[in-house]
Amino acid sequence: MMNFEELDPTTRKWILDEFNAEQSQTPHFEPTELNPIGLAAFPDLMRQAIQHDNIASLAASLSNSSYWKPTRTYYRKGKPITQNIDPTTSAQRLAHSEFTTWYTRGMARKLKEEGITQCQVYRADSAVQPNCECTSLEGNTVSVDEIYNGHRAKYFPTPNQGAFSIPSSPFCHHTIRRLTV
């Protein structure tokens, strides 16, 4: 289970503030595997999780099969491959990546509001294959502004795989903590 060390009411408030700011922008990020019903439900499910819950309850609420497209298409060596979407698996993946993305953004915002400019990267959960690109940054001190501005930087609004971002992929288990003196 992801250990979000400072998921207190103040952090949740800043996460919600950031989430609502993103939702008010056009266009904003929307999960491509959700159908129109799922996309309509998604913002309030996120708000519920941000204010009161966690990844597990978000995954449970997202696993409603009426929210998901039947298939997804991805490309391998230029060839389209179509795969059935399993709502339970996809809900777990989406809940993990979105909640981690938002915790990191909101925590960076909280530190910025306190005038803090540096923070530390840490692994918030073990992983079967702990090899995401920020593994080399574990324990490192990084700029709060860089973390804040790295929000979705690899894939939205335009794909940019070279951008600095934590979490660095949908499977990343990294986020940030405040530095202790």
Q: Which residues bind Zn ion (CB under 5 A)?
A: 132, 134, 168, 172, 174
Q: Where are the beta strands (DSSP E) in the chain?
A: 71-76, 79-84, 118-123, 141-143, 174-178
Kindly state the smallest distance separating residue 146's Cβ from Zn ion, in Å: 15
Residue 110, strand partner residues: none
C-alpha closest to that of 103 among 37, 173, 31: 173
C-alpha closest to that of 176 among 126, 115, 101: 101
Name the residue nearer to Zn ion (CB basis): 46 or 132: 132
Name the residue nearer to Zn ion (CB basis): 151 or 174: 174
Name the residue nearer to Zn ion (CB basis): 64 or 135: 135
